[in-house]
Amino acid sequence: MEALEQLIVALRRLPTIGPKTARRLALHLLQRDRAAGAELARSLSTALDTLQPCRQCRQLSATELCGICADDERDQQIVCVVESLDELYQIEQTGVFNGRYFVLNGHLSPLDGIGPEELGIPQLLEQVRGGGIRELIMALSTQVEGEATAQYIADQIGPEVSLSTLAQGVPMGRSLNHLDPATLSVALSSRVARQTDAE
């Protein structure tokens, strides 16, 4: 039973998985579909061994530069800043955006010990100051934390870089992963300039 309990505890660490769901998943993988359990273990092991953050955008990649950052067909001067990989994938599904990304993997939360360094913001600012970026699209959640993070980044950027946010269709207080592809596509295409304190 100790191995079963360890598996249940491990599954509970996943987002949105409570104790009952963890137990059901563990029992399913061990009793009803052992082949799927073995495949899951192999796939997870391979992913952990081969995937690492892209040195430019911080999304997961098997190479130093991910396919998006290495793609010469994409507009490398437009960078869409997102809170998570999930949001990057959602924007990619729209087929509207042809720039590159920067993945924060969260938002500023001083009470939780998450500051600019933990989000890679100094790395983003270094890329901006290095030149070659003409627009930053702040595709962050409209929740207080997302807005605070976007404002922090905006305050660090000079007037030579255009700042914009997603337009219509993004309700206040909602995360991007709750939007359907059509709404996200319109919001991205109709983005609006973001005001900074410097203006």
Q: Residues near 158 by Cβ (< 8 Å), separated by ≥ 6?
A: 198
The dihedral through the CA atoms of 7, 12, 15, 16 has a sign that is positive
CATH number of the domain that residue 128 is part of? 3.40.1360.10
Same domain? 35 vs 70: no
Q: pTM for the whole thing?
A: 0.78
Paired tokens of 104: 């924060």
Q: What CATH code is carried by the domain that includes residue 43?
A: 1.10.8.420
In-domain check, residue 20: yes
43 & 8 share domain: yes
The angle, 0 to 180 degrees and rounded to 10, between the axes of the packed helices 144-156 and 121-129 is 30
Distance in angstroms (rounded) separating the CA atoms of residues 111 and 195: 27
Structure tokens at 44: 């997870």
pLDDT at 8: 94
**Joined tokens for residue 111:** 């009470």
One domain for residues 112 and 82: yes
Provide the token pair at 9.
């505890």
Cite the DSSP H helix spans in 51-84. 67-70
Domain hosting residue 101, numbered range: 57-193
Establish if 121 belongs to a structural domain.
yes
Q: Confirm whether 199 is domain-assigned.
A: no
Domain count within the chain = 2
107 with 35, same domain: the answer is no
Same domain, 43 and 62: no
Q: Residue 85 has what pLDDT?
A: 95
Whether residues 83 and 98 fall in one domain:
yes
Residues 81 and 175 in one domain: yes
- The whole-angstrom separation of Cα 139 and Cα 145 is 13
**H/E segment holding residue 29:** none
97 contacts 80 by C-beta, under 8 angstroms: yes
149 and 189: one domain?
Answer: yes
- The pLDDT, as a whole number, for residue 125 is 95
- Can you give the pLDDT at residue 165? 87
| Within-domain flag for 143 | yes
Residues 6+ apart with CB under 8 A from 45: none
> pLDDT tens digits for the chain (199 residues)?
799 999 999 999 999 999 999 999 999 999 999 999 999 999 999 999 999 999 999 999 999 999 999 999 999 999 999 999 999 999 999 899 999 999 999 999 988 999 999 999 999 999 999 888 999 999 998 788 988 999 999 999 988 899 998 865 556 566 667 677 767 776 777 676 766 655 5
Tell whether 198 is covered by a domain: no
Give the CA diameter of the chain.
63
Positive or negative: CA dihedral 172, 175, 178, 183: positive
Digit-coded pLDDT (tens) for 90-112: 999 989 999 999 999 999 998 89
Same domain, 138 and 187: yes
What is the pLDDT, as a whole number, of residue 82?
97
Phi/psi region, residue 106 (left: phi>0; alpha: psi -120 to 50; beta: rest), is left
